[in-house]
Amino acid sequence: MPLDPTAVGWESPPRETSWRSEDCLLYALGVGAGPADLAYVTENSIGVEQRALPTIAVVLGQFDDEVWQSMGTFSWAMMVHAGQEVVLHRPIPAEGRIVTTHRLAGMWDKGKAAVVDVESNAVDAGSGAAMFTLRTSVFIRGEGGWGGDRGPTTANPIPDRAPDHEVRDCTHPNQALIYRLCGDRNPLHSDPTFARKAGFDQPILHGLCTYGVTGRALLKSLCGDDPERFGGISGRFASPVLPGEELLVRAWNLDDGAAFQTVRADGTVVFDAGRFTFA
C-alpha cells in the first residue's frame, strides 16, 4: 500500500533509550566539531567539563521502524528531509536516559509528492521532566495525489538587511561517513549507486548533519558557546550539501531570538526560514 493518510494521529508506545559520553563525542565529530570545541569532543581535558551539543536531540529522539511503518509504504530513494525543529526544555547531559513517544502529526498532499510530519516528545526516564520536543518533516516524491489538504504555509522570517552574525565552516569529504555512525544509515549518504538512483551524482550530506553544523555556529555566535542559553531552532532544508563543501551560517538578531539561514560558498541557500529561540 502507499502512504496512509488515515494514520494521522497514530502514537507510538513509550520507548526508553540511553546514551553515554562516547555518543556525544561521536555526534560532535559527526557535525564537524574539532580541537576548538574540546568540551564537546573530549571527556578528559584538564579544566574542561564535557558537554553535549544541543542538536544531539535529533539523534537521541530519532525514529524507529515502527514510526516509518505507521506512514504506509514508499520508496526510500524518493524521500528527503524537508524540515526540522528542536525545542529544548532543559540542557541535554553528556549521558542519560529518556523515554520518547512519537506521534504522526500530519500528512500533506503536494500533488506529485507528500509531506509527513512527526512530533516526538522525550522526558527524563528518572524524573519524568520534559527534556526536548522534535518536529520532523519529510518530503516524499511520487506519493501525493490523493486529494488531501496541501498543508499550512510558513512565513520566512529572514530580514531584508545584512546579517548581524556570520560563521563559516567547511565540511569534510568523509563527513557523511562519520555522521552515519550516529544512527542514520540511509545509503543516500554513502552509496554512489543508490545516490544515482535517487537523482544525485554522488552521495549527499545528511540534512541533519547540515542542521548540526548550523546549530554549532548558532551556539557560538548567539549563545557564547553556552548550551544553557540554547532554546531551540527550526527551519526548512532547501538544497542538498555535498561532503567537503563550505557552509556559511548567517543570523539576524530579532526581539524574540534570531532568524538564520545556511548557504553554500556559491550563495545557494541550503537551510532556510530558520528561527532560533533562547532558553
Whether 266 is catalytic is: no
How far is the C-alpha of 230 from the C-alpha of 218, rounded, in Å?
9
Q: Which amino acid is at 137?
A: S
133 — phi, psi (to 5°)? Answer: -125, 135
How far is the C-alpha of 177 from the C-alpha of 55, rounded, in Å?
19
Q: Which amino acid is at 136?
A: T
Residue of 23, 37, 184, 272 with catalytic role: 184
How far is the C-alpha of 56 from the C-alpha of 164, rounded, in Å?
26
How far is the C-alpha of 91 from the C-alpha of 129, rounded, in Å?
12
Question: Beta partners for 5?
Answer: none
Residue of 189, 201, 206, 272 with catalytic role: 189
Q: What is the DSSP letter of 182?
A: G
Q: Which of 25, 14, 182 is nearest to 98 (CA)?
A: 14
Cell of 139: 518530503
Whether 184 is catalytic is: yes
Q: Which residues are catalytic?
A: 184, 189
